[in-house]
Structure formats: structure tokens, C-alpha cells
Structure 1
């Protein structure tokens, strides 16, 4: 299948991301979207990223755009830099998917591209659109962008926010593996580097495999850690485990962080834990389709109606979007908005709350309204089979009854994004093909962690039988 746009950016097999294809997409982007005359280019640590980044830089220069080589840099740090400079940006990353795939994430001077922007880029690609330059664009190298990202959080949280905490950093091949160490140290924690890898490791924070969970539990027990943190490959999705090594779901991190920062309006996908609607401090919760462009669109609608709204967004993968300047509370200084998916803020905020309250992270989670989720994915699916299967479940009530029979009767369904089935027992099963990888997502919600995990296992097997 040719590279295509999914929930966040263009993705495809490395073999299909040819120099010609990359050049045409970059130039179509620059021709159809605002760019400020400059293009910032960052990359993750997968083996194919440096070469693809070189093609991106060359494509921009060829059409008269100043190209800024940002090197190895996390997506949120790249967005912070480019948006601050009023420039466009492209991140070369496949995010959490395996190294045989890669992709491009596009940023306007004001932030992530919208779905309407994506449509313009695709149309421009098909038409061969590109700017007409007066001369070749220059190439410059950017220094200090990671330091500016570290300084953002050091200034906001202060040097004592995590004082005395011993935090493991599962480094693997995250492009932010050094940045995480620096930020934790700047906030007074004692960071401990764990499992650094020179081979790319595709970490999916929504579907942490059993062997990784076991390793995290082992590190916590052996080293006496207060927590373990990590990210996916391009550092826009967080992973945080408590002192026992239990991974805290990303949407739970989002709730804790949003409440700690004083957010009043929450925008989050329909796949997020329903507990978000039971938090009294949240005046409004807007549910969206899955993907940061939809969350951002909802946040922008809130701000258009009320520019002073304290709005935040997060996804089930934990990526957190801040739409207002957060001040006071656990913060020592103002934290300006950053409306792109970030991994660091939803790790720091829960840790800072735990430190301030003198509680372990596990107690913060236990104090939330009880509602438990689990998620996993069936990989290497046949996309045509997956579409036929899901379309059939959506169209035929009898097919849904038969497929979900192991879990009881269906109360209602939600078609906001994929098929979300609400059972009369109160449990929820949500099925959705990935928009940018040959994967099929299963989200489950139950009355206990074990119940949610059991639902996920049941439907992993049932879905796999239909889509492979």
C-alpha cells in the first residue's frame, strides 16, 4: 500500500518513501500551506531517518525555502522551536511503528496541519504543485533547540519539583532519551538510565508488551525507583510506571495532568477513559475522533468561542496538548501553550503532584473515579479484510450480536471513530483499524484492570481471526 496520511502524518514502508515521493510531498506542502519562508526539519533515531531528512532539506532548498537542519530532535521540541520562529516544520518519524516504516509529520507556523491541510497537500502532490523560487534556499543548522525544550519545563516547574525522587528512564531508542534525563535532573530528580539501545525499538505506549512490563517491574524492584518514564520513538507519547512498575494508562495521565494544570475544558478522543467525564473540576468534555488533528480542531473551536478558555487535550496514548498559559498551583512559573502532542508534560505533572502531596503515583491513580481501560493491537493485518469485517459489523446488527456474544448483550453503539460497543454490563469494546499502519486497535473498558485486560485479550483473538 502506497504511503498515505493516517491519524497523524504521512506513513509508509521505507522502500516506498523514495526520494521522488518525499520531494513531491514536501514541495506540495510548501506550495499549498503557509510556511513563513523557512522549514525546520527534525528526525527520530530509526536508521532510515537521516537519509529521508536529507531529501526533505534538499526539496525545500530547491524551491527557494530556507532549510533548517534540526538533527535528532523530538517532535514536540521541534514544534516548539518552529512555531516560536513562525516557520513550518517537518518531522521525519514513523512514531511507534517498526523500523521498516517511516513517515513525515507536517507543521504550519501555527501548529500541526489539519485534515483540510492534509487534503490540500494530497491534491498538491497529485498535481505536482511546488513553489517557483527566485533562487535556491539556504541551509543552516540549528543548535540549542533541545536546551530550549528543557528550559521550558525547568522554568515552569522549578528546581525542587521532583527533589529526592529516583526516576528510571527507559531510554531504548527514543529521540528524547537524553532530554528526559536532563529535564528530570533540572527538576531535582535523580534520573537513572535504563536499557539504552542502538537498534530501533518500536515502543507503543498504548500497547506495552508483557516482556517490557516485566522489565519495568524488575527495574523498580531492583533499583528502588519511584517511577519509570519513557516515550515512543519521536517523543510525543509518554510512558509512566509507578513505583511497583505498573504502567499508568495515557488517558489517566491526561486526567491527572489536566486537573493539576487547572484546565476546565477537555478535548479528547472517544477512545479515552470515560472517567474524564466524572471529574468535577472539568466544566466541559468534548469527545472527538481519534488523532491529534481532531483534538486540536476541537480545542481551536473552544478558543474561538472564548480565547481565555483553560482548554487542554489528550489522547489515550497519553500525548498531551496545552491550549492556555498554565500558572499557579504546582507551577513556579508560567507554562505557555503548546498545542501539539507532548510526552514530557504528562509525565512531569503527575510526578510533581505526587511529590507535592507526599504520595506515590499509585495513590494518585487510586484516588480517581474507578474506571479501567486496556488497549492492544493486532499487527500485520490485511487492510481489505479489516475494512470488510468492520463494515459488516457496523451495517448488520445480527453480525454485531454474534461477534460480541461472549461479553453479553449490546446496549448501544457509537460510530464516532470505528465501532464502539457499549454493553449492558457497563463494559465497552472499541474496534478501529489504524490509520497509518497495518494494525487493528482494540480498546476495552471494564470495572477492574483485570476485566478490561480480559476483554482486550478476548477481542484480540476474535479480531485476528477476521483480519489476517
Structure 2
């Protein structure tokens, strides 16, 4: 296998952004030649003769996956087309085969955007891998493999389903009635297969053939109302769902109230017996107040940062999770059966663990959440921003005391600040506001934390309005 530099070619001034979440951009900007250039750059970075390919359910994803496959085949790389399936299911199969993978997805962002998410043979790319891919792209290298360039289809869902049915056992969810909010999640069938395989009764809800950009970290009020109505109508114990590519979970209690992703992370880490926990600075402080965790590490937002810190953990029983709920298992957990490590963001484990924990304790999901240390968060996002304007606003808050004090004055007296990722402000009251610009979408994120749910919701709403007045 060898890489050669392409002749000619100019950098695409309109090229989508490449970063922590892979390549993201408007579908109109994801031209075939741009996709091909990034496929070659990735193949040069991983030097593999086999490539796994998967996709979500966006209208543009099928075409993009075909471009990826054709590019790889022309480069003498064998392609395993896994079709439409969740990102963690693709990663599980490609890692088992010791092969790299590309997932075509824009995750939770609208259908007019899409992207490529890259996986190494042993999991997610690191920041160093990211730099190597980007350097290869800039150099316009071309990969020459040593295989035949064969194409075959692979059903990668069954091993992912078996992972959980074998680890938890066929009666783990027996007696529970679970709604599955299907929308356009690529894992909607997978969820139903897992839940029924564990003994639950399922109620399919709101299937959509049109792509719906569900953000599990900032569920909109209309969806929240539907969730509550479905729970009441069908007498459900919970509703489960995911974002578009199924690396972020969503779980409600029996009233339809959404359990925040970072709370799912804490519940899952407790259930698994984790000793070391790694999570971004945006996560609920509850993780630091839980005595079961002996080693808690906070990082910048993004799974590469979480994975890097997991490698430095003090205990072998290490897990990571993001505020959106995506959960990374770093050790083999002993349950009804063994659950092997899966160091990539997963949606199913942080749904199953709280449900099984509640059932084993003969409690509801709401009751096991209520038993956690009292600490409440809320989040929202300002969409369709001007990235440059938003970044200038944030830079002013970080670098200028006068601007920072003026903006946060309505919310209380500042006790301390944290610039690990964006700007996190701790107030003397104990409340927290965290502002950051999204790295993979034209969005500005607003996080709040307070000592009651009502206070957290009010704080994030007030801060959201304050931000909108300035950056829109």
C-alpha cells in the first residue's frame, strides 16, 4: 500500500469544516470530489485495504455513501457496505474486524447538512489522527491499496443487538412497557429489537419518512409535550429514542419527562460499578458529588478529549460520557453476561442501564433519578448564527473583564470562571452558566446549572434571550 500526491488541484474555499466530529457542512458544498479527497486522506492516514461504510437516513446520505464506496474501490480497497445503521453498531463491527470505517451522518443537525465521521480500526479518531487526515487532505494525496477493490454488503445490526441481549439477559426488562420514539432515528428498528429481546413490551411512536433533526441535549417544547401525552395515552414506563445517527440517547420517565444525558451518564456509571469517570466540563456537577466515583476527570467537549483522558484514568473500571448522554465503556462489565468495552459514543447502554437499575430496585425511573445528589441542569441552543459574530462575542466575554461583568450582572455575582471549553461562569449563589460556540454546526450553546430544576430552566431561558439579543 502506498500514498501518492495528487497532481494539481486547488483547495476548495467553500469546503465544509473538518474537526472533532469529522467532516460537516451543507449538502450543497459536499461535492463528490471533496468527498473523494477526504476518503483518500483518511485511507492514507489508516493504511487499510478494507473499509466499512454506514449511513443515517438523511436524503443525501445514500449518494454520499456511494461516492465513498466507489472512491475506495477505485483505490483498490475492499468495501463492506453496512447500509443504514447506528454509528455505534458500525463501529462495533468495524472494530471487531480490525478495519477503519466511515459513517455518513450529520448527527442531530438539519437535513440540509451532512458529514463524514471517521473511525480507526480500534475506535474513534484522536486529535493527532484528525491532524494527520487534514494534512493528507491539504496535500491532496492519493491512496493505492493492495486489495481487489471488491464491494459487499454486511448486516452489522445483529452483533450489536446480541451485545446487549446477551449481556443483560432475556428478562432484564420484563414487565416494562416502553415507547420507542422512532422519528427518523437510524436505530429505530435496532432499539425495538433490543428491548423486545430483553423482555419489554414496546409501543412504536411517530415513525417519520422525513428526516427530523432531534437534538437529545436540547429537546424542543413541542416534542416534550408529545412525550408527556404519549406516556399518559399508552400508560408507558418510559420512552426511548436517539438522535439521527444513534450515538446520543434520549430517555423519559413514566410521565414523559426527559432525563438529561449527563444524568443518564451518572446512572449508567453507577450501575456498571465504574471507579473512574471522564466527562466534559459542561456536564452536571453531580458526577463530582457522587462518592462511588473515586477519580473524576473533566475535559473539553468532544469525544476525542474524553477518550484521551480515559487512557490516563486511575482505575481500570473507567467510563466516559458526554452531556448529550453518549456513553463510552472502557472496561468489560460483568452483568448477566459480560459486556465488552466499546470506547465510542453509544446510545443503547445509557438507556438500558437506568431502566434495568430501576427495575432491579423495584423503583421507577423518576425515583432513581430523585435519589441522586440534588443538582439540576438545563440547556438550549441559538441556531443559524453568524459564527464569526458569535465567536467575537465569546472572545470579548473571555478576554474583557468589563464585557464579562456587564453581560453576567443580571444573573448574579461572579465567583470564578473556567475557560476549558468556551466560558463557564460560577456564581456566588452556586448557579452556573456555560456559553460556547458549537464546533460542528452554526449554533451557540447555552448551559445552566442551579439547585432546583425550575431555577435551572429559568436561568437558561434568561441567558438564551440575552445571547440572542447580541449575536442575532
- TM-score bracket relative to the smaller structure: over 0.9
Q: Of residues 404, 413, 419 in structure 1, which corresponds to 2:417?
A: 413
**Cα shift at 1:283:** 0.6
The aligned residue for residue 374 of structure 2 is 370
1:265 has 2:265 as partner:
no
- C-alpha RMSD of matched pairs (Å): 1.0
Distance 1:134 1:162 in 2: 47
**Cα shift at 1:133:** 3.7
The aligned residue for residue 80 of structure 2 is 68
**Cα shift at 1:34:** 4.4
1:315 has 2:328 as partner:
no
**SS of match in other structure, 1:130:** strand
Distance 1:15 1:336 in 2: 40
1:184 has 2:195 as partner:
yes
The aligned residue for residue 92 of structure 2 is 80
Q: Structure 2: which 5+ residue stretches go unaligned?
A: 1-13
Q: Of residues 43, 49, 61 in structure 1, which corresponds to 2:55?
A: 43
Report if the CA contact (8 A) 1:375-1:444 is conserved.
Answer: yes
Distance 2:75 2:185 in 1: 32
Distance 2:277 2:76 in 1: 40
Distance 1:424 1:134 in 2: 62
1:333 has 2:329 as partner:
no
**SS of match in other structure, 2:311:** helix
Distance 1:9 1:186 in 2: 33
> Would the alpha carbon gap of residues 134 and 334 (structure 1) be closer, same or farther in structure 2, given more than 3 Å must change?
closer
Distance 1:123 1:341 in 2: 26
Distance 2:380 2:220 in 1: 9
Distance 1:426 1:375 in 2: 17
Distance 1:344 1:29 in 2: 28
**SS of match in other structure, 1:117:** helix
Q: Of residues 17, 29, 33 in structure 2, which corresponds to 1:4?
A: 17
Distance 2:459 2:143 in 1: 51
Write the deviation string for residues 426-452 of structure 1: whole angstroms up to 9, x where unpaired: 000000000010000001001111111
**Cα shift at 1:10:** 1.2
**SS of match in other structure, 2:141:** coil
1:278 has 2:292 as partner:
no
Distance 1:432 1:160 in 2: 43
Q: Structure 1: which 5+ residue stretches go unaligned?
A: none
1:345 has 2:357 as partner:
no
**SS of match in other structure, 2:308:** helix
Write the deviation string for residues 35-88 of structure 1: whole angstroms up to 9, x where unpaired: 3x2110000000000000000111111111111111001000000000000000
**SS of match in other structure, 2:324:** coil
Q: Of residues 4, 7, 24 in structure 1, which corresponds to 2:37?
A: 24
The aligned residue for residue 122 of structure 1 is 134
Report if the CA contact (8 A) 2:166-2:337 is conserved.
Answer: yes
TM-score when normalising by structure 1: 0.97
Report if the CA contact (8 A) 2:78-2:147 is conserved.
Answer: no
Report if the CA contact (8 A) 2:20-2:127 is conserved.
Answer: no
The aligned residue for residue 172 of structure 2 is 161
Distance 1:12 1:340 in 2: 22
Report if the CA contact (8 A) 1:75-1:235 is conserved.
Answer: yes
Distance 1:429 1:5 in 2: 28
> Would the alpha carbon gap of residues 134 and 223 (structure 1) be closer, same or farther in structure 2, given more than 3 Å must change?
closer
Report if the CA contact (8 A) 1:34-1:88 is conserved.
Answer: no
**SS of match in other structure, 1:458:** helix
**Cα shift at 1:260:** 0.3
Q: How does 1:200-239 map to 2 (within 5 A)?
A: 200-239=211-250
The aligned residue for residue 427 of structure 1 is 431
Distance 1:287 1:120 in 2: 26
Report if the CA contact (8 A) 1:63-1:136 is conserved.
Answer: no
**Cα shift at 1:395:** 0.5
**Cα shift at 1:135:** 6.3
Distance 2:145 2:276 in 1: 44
Distance 1:450 1:8 in 2: 32
Q: How does 1:285-304 map to 2 (within 5 A)?
A: 285-302=296-313
**SS of match in other structure, 2:202:** strand
* 4+ aligned runs moved over 6 Å, structure 1: none
Report if the CA contact (8 A) 2:279-2:306 is conserved.
Answer: yes
**SS of match in other structure, 2:118:** strand
Distance 1:135 1:141 in 2: 17
**SS of match in other structure, 2:135:** helix
The aligned residue for residue 100 of structure 1 is 112
Distance 2:372 2:47 in 1: 42
Distance 1:457 1:134 in 2: 56
Q: Of residues 267, 281, 294 in structure 2, which corresponds to 1:256?
A: 267
* Paired residues, number: 459
Report if the CA contact (8 A) 1:251-1:316 is conserved.
Answer: yes
